[in-house]
Amino acid sequence: MDTAVVVVWLSMVVTILSRSHADRNVYPSAGVLFVHVLEREHFKGEFPPYPKPGDSSNDPITFNTNLMGYPDRPGWLRYIQRTSHSDGVLYGSPTAEHVGKATIIEITAYNRRTFETARHNLVINIMSTEDYPLPYQAEFFIKNMNVEEMLASEVLGDFLGAVKNVWQPERLNAINITSALDRGGRVPLPINNLKEGVYVMVGADVQFSSCLREVENPHNQLRCSQEMEPVISCDKKFRAQFDIDWCKINLVDITKVVTIHSNRPDPGTGVLPDIGEYNPPSESLKSRDFFADFLITLAVPSAVAMVLFTILGYSMCCRREGVDKRNMQTPDIQLVHHSSIQKSTKELRSMSKNREISWPLSTLPVFSQSGEVVPPIHPDNYETTSMPLMQTQTNLQNQIQIPQQQPSGDRDNYCMSTFRRLEVNGIPEERKVAEALNL
42-72 pLDDT, tens digit per residue, is: 887 777 766 665 555 578 889 999 999 888 8
CB 398 within 8 A of CB 420: yes
Beta bridge partners of 424: 427
pTM of the model: 0.53
CATH homologous superfamily of 9-125 equals Immunoglobulins (2.60.40.10)
Looking at residue 280, its pLDDT comes to: 76
Q: CA angle, corner 343, sides to 341 and 348, nearest 5?
A: 95
CA distances (Å), origin 272, targets 186, 205, 267: 42, 46, 12
CA separation for the pair 232, 227 (Å, rounded): 15
Beta bridge partners of 35: 91
Amino acid at 104: I
CA separation for the pair 408, 386 (Å, rounded): 28
Closest to 115 (Cα-Cα) out of 48, 15, 52: 48
What are the structural domain ranges in the chain?
Answer: 9-125, 136-253, 388-437
Looking at residue 269, its pLDDT comes to: 63
In this predicted structure, the answer to whether residue 230 has a pLDDT above a threshold of 60 is yes
List, in order, residues 6 or more apart from 123 with CB less than 8 Å away.
23, 24, 25, 26, 102, 103, 104, 105
Sheet (strand 34-38) strand order: 34-38, 88-92, 77-80
Mean pLDDT, residues 19-36: 79
**What does the mean pLDDT of the chain come to?**
75
